[in-house]
Amino acid sequence: MEIRNILTVAYFFLAIYVFGGGVMKNLVFGESWKLVSAEDLPAVHKSVFSRLPAYFVSFLSLLVLVNILLIWFHHPAISTSLIVITAAFNLFILVLTSRLFLPMDKQLDTQLDKAKSAELIDRMVMYDRYLRTIPSGCITMVATIMMLYQVVSASSR
């Protein structure tokens, strides 16, 4: 199997995994943090947050690496411009995650004030929705679906 085929399959797997994980973490479970009592929030959040780097950030980092490699080693049916677009947005999502969201998540581990915790959770949900999920994640997934369509269409000829 050629390197470009391996990278293409890896990209599609990682893109779907990361998008699905991001949607579940932020759009489905984001607001539910407000339901945890102020006394329990630091411990519960620390428990959940401790698994985030292994199950999400590491896959996001790998996705960015594979996406960048795809610029040079991509399936001939895939448009290079779509790969560059997805690489730029995935890199943006990684930078947002590491520079904005992980520090805010760490802050929740020590936050004992319920009002401040709710305010921080609201801010995280808003930033995530309007910076990461809706514009970046959705544009990336639309481009990814277009890339997948290009590969499938080329292989059916």
**pLDDT, tens digit (0-9, with 9 covering 90-100), for 70-107:** 999 999 999 999 999 999 999 999 999 899 888 888 88
Evaluate whether 40 touches 32 at the Cβ level (below 8 Å). Answer: no
Dihedral (Cα; 93, 95, 98, 104), 10-degree rounding? -70
Evaluate whether 38 touches 54 at the Cβ level (below 8 Å). Answer: no
Average pLDDT over residues 55-63: 93
Average pLDDT over residues 150-157: 85
Residues 6+ apart with CB under 8 A from 57: 97, 98, 102
Helices (H), 30-137: 41-49, 52, 58-72, 80-96, 102-110, 114-127
Of residues 157 and 155, which shows the higher confidence score? 155
Evaluate whether 23 touches 133 at the Cβ level (below 8 Å). Answer: yes
Kindly report the length of the chain: 157
* pLDDT score, position 70: 96
pLDDT confidence tier of residue 59, bands split at 50, 70 and 90: very high
* pLDDT score, position 128: 85
4, 77, 130, 155 from 73: Cα distances, Å: 5, 12, 32, 17
Q: Give the largest CA-CA distance in the chain.
A: 61
What pTM was estimated for this model as a whole?
A: 0.86
Q: Return the axis-axis angle of helices 58-72 and 80-96, rounded to nearest 10°.
A: 150
